[in-house]
Amino acid sequence: MLSTMLKAKLHLATVTQAELWYDGSCAIDSDLLDLAGLREFEQIDIYNVNNGERFTTYIIRAEAGSRTISMNGSAARRVQVGDRVIIATYAQYAEEEMIRHKPKLVYLNSDNSVAHRQHYPGADRFLNDAPNLPLRNRRGRLARRAGDRIHANTQSPGERWPNFQSIRCPSPGVKTPTSTVPATRRCIAAPWLNRNASGENRRSSCWDRPWSSVCGGDFGAGTATWFAGGKLNVTTNCIDRHLSTRGEQVAILWEGDDPAESSAITYRELHAQVCRLANVLKSRGIDKGDRVCIYMPMVPEAAYAMLACARIGAIHSVVFGGFSPEALKDRILDSDCKVLITADEGLRGGRRIPLKSNADKALADCPGVHSCVVLRRTGGAVAWHEGRDIWYHQAMAAAAPDCAPALMDAEDPLFILYTSGSTCKPKGSRFWQVIDKHRVNQFYTAPTALRALMGAGDDFVTRTSRASLRLLGTVGEPINPEAWAWYHRVVGESRCPIVDTWWQTETGGHMLTPLPGAIDLKPGSATVPFFGVQPVLLDGEGREVAGAGEGNLAIKASWPGQIRSVYGDHRRMIDTYFSLYPGYYFTGDGARRDADGYYWITGRVDDVLNVSGHRMGTAEIESALVLHEKVAEAAVVGFPHDIKGQGIYAYVTLMAGAEPSDALKRELLELCTREIGAIAKPDVIQWAPGLPKTRSGKIMRRILRKVAASELDSLGDTSTLAYPAVVDDLVRNRQRNSH
């Protein structure tokens, strides 16, 4: 037995940090691990004493004398802080011994007794055996994506061990020095452009039946089919496949409206809750293809509801908790829902939101809804409709904790989604406290929220640690360079990359985005296309703009997440996205592309101003205004002007402690002249302590245009705003600014 144990060098360690890094690796800090002699790309075996799990991984980074080992990212899902692990390495062996004999490895119990012997598979698991074979990435799979870090086999004839070199594949639109990418080693930038389905792709998700073709349809006509013939259920991929190895691992960390209220839900608990609710829905007659409306507060049960619908093949439509009864009614009728899932009340910023009361008003005009499932969130008194209303907790207690997933086609609808979001307005240091509390690694928010936080001062941020942060993200609108720099310098302490992404609800995922560590960042730019995405810039005549230039942003080829239809009105989808420029998906955004191939979103095309015949984007003027140290945020719209045709109307929010004045207004006008030109000077500057925003932080420019044009009797529904009272203040100030 002793001789067998000596086949490997064993490191007994306690995990003090187990996090998935942004580059796909897992960092484990240990108080006992001695990494002297370990090598990059060396294969190792790990035995987790706490749960008895054994797995094989390999080293990505290791430094002699260090106590940190960076491994393949799969390790992050198999260890937790506090686990006792045995790490078996083989650095002490002659390399030929490892290949020839495939030595056995001994795993130890916590009391050092022998637990298991296993044949070591050999360190050639990820290697190519000839220099002309395809490149492979860190997991040994074929490298096929731009940005992959690949292991190139440069083995010479007669060498027993290949000499590995780490090479970064070029990304679309980015010039890569030819010295880093040998001509004989090329990556495919768009993995799905090869229409042949590969076994490797099939194994990336749990498919009950593999697909017969990757992509089909007529993009010019707005139709698309992806992974035709494939059968699966999304909840199997989200939950079931993790139960055998990660059942007790936390799947959801929930933070309540009150920071003292939080909970952690494991994969096993999530599975039981989802299955119970799926059975509740089935007991109310819901089947594959039926629609279910979810009108819930921000609670774990909202996630259970979405997954429960997917479990049985029902289509869910989420209506955010701040919407009015009228807005809720319209969405229920649009989707022809049969069941509504809601709560007695919601909590937002300490205020109670009467969800059930709103639901009762909406359902008075929704005869198709036969069941209303009500979660008891606050215990507030609610009206009750016998035969229609059922208590969530009572129905769940009577339901079985197992429900077989429905077999769904890859193109079956999963959900119906409206384009308005709903997340809470930032409150001082709340974000940063949550990051410290849960050791958050990635933080993702909107530029509008960042500017509001920046306006509150640095102290709210710097009084917290944020040491766990590794990656920052931003989305929703173009971010001005000043907010980007503050985000990077203050929030990320100049050590966290910022992923500035561009996408839309209709695209189903990121379309333009940098890859951290692989793409150089430019403040304010969404950088380059994601894998397989083919953006173009079109001029006013629909011609593609080559090289550096500016135009209307469109997409020229299908991608998996693209919009399939507007529910019940497919013609509207065609007219909105595919008719203006036939053969292209028109995003509605303008953009410019620089000499390096980086894209800069200039804003919605309908946000372009035409002042005295000169066209300019509102985002350009807004960026100039927020350069002033006293300005936290600015929003610019056009308004009718007798001489210019269209005038420039600027709403300006000042930093905390800054006071509005005529002198400051003059400084802002001079700043716009200096940064852009005299043509960009606002005709009206209105001081705005707050701007009308959705709960996701997006500015409702429709309302700003109405106020600027004095069309105050047609402001429309303001119930979807985070703070509807902001509009009253804007109207009062607009009347004083009339001219």
Nearest of 274, 280, 272 to residue 390 by alpha carbon? 280
Mean pLDDT of 206-225: 86
Nearest of 315, 256, 261 to residue 287 by alpha carbon? 315
Mean pLDDT of 534-555: 93
Assess whether pLDDT exceeds 70 at residue 189: no
Question: 203-207, 310-314, 440-444 — which one is most confidently predicted on average?
Answer: 310-314
**Catalytic residue, candidates 7, 30, 47, 58:** 58
Q: How confident is the model at residue 321 (pLDDT cuts 50, 70, 90)?
A: confident
> Per the structure block, which two tokens stand in for 274?
């989802």
Mean pLDDT of 238-250: 93
Active site residue 665: no
Mean pLDDT of 323-334: 86
Mean pLDDT of 251-265: 91
Active site residue 706: no
Q: How confident is the model at residue 481 (pLDDT cuts 50, 70, 90)?
A: confident
Burial of 624 per CB tally in 10 Å (0-12, 13-18, 19+): buried
Instruction: Report the DSSP beta bridge partners of residue 726.
Output: none
Nearest of 173, 151, 149 to residue 162 by alpha carbon? 151
> Worst-scoring range by mean pLDDT, 7-21, 48-62, 130-144, 579-593?
130-144
Distance CA 461, CA 469 (A): 13
**Catalytic residue, candidates 9, 437, 556, 630:** 9
Distance CA 528, CA 514 (A): 6
In what helix (H) or strand (E) does residue 42 lie, and over which residues does it extend? none
Higher pLDDT, 636 or 63: 636
CB 472 within 8 A of CB 492: yes
Active site residue 30: no
Residue/partner pairs of 710-717 with CB below 8 Å, 24 or more apart: 710/734, 710/738, 717/324, 717/326, 717/327
Assess whether pLDDT exceeds 90 at residue 368: yes
Q: How confident is the model at residue 212 (pLDDT cuts 50, 70, 90)?
A: confident
Distance CA 519, CA 173 (A): 11
Which ranges of 90-197 would DSSP assign to H, the alpha helix? 95-101
Q: How confident is the model at residue 545 (pLDDT cuts 50, 70, 90)?
A: very high
**Catalytic residue, candidates 7, 25, 525, 623:** 25
Q: How confident is the model at residue 11 (pLDDT cuts 50, 70, 90)?
A: low
Q: Report the chain's C-alpha Rg in angstroms.
A: 28
The confidence score (pLDDT) of residue 15 equals 66
End-to-end CA distance of the chain: 93
Higher pLDDT, 195 or 737: 737
Higher pLDDT, 486 or 735: 486
CA 21 to chain CA centroid, nearest Å: 16
Q: How confident is the model at residue 69 (pLDDT cuts 50, 70, 90)?
A: low
* pTM passes above 0.85: no
Mean pLDDT of 419-433: 58
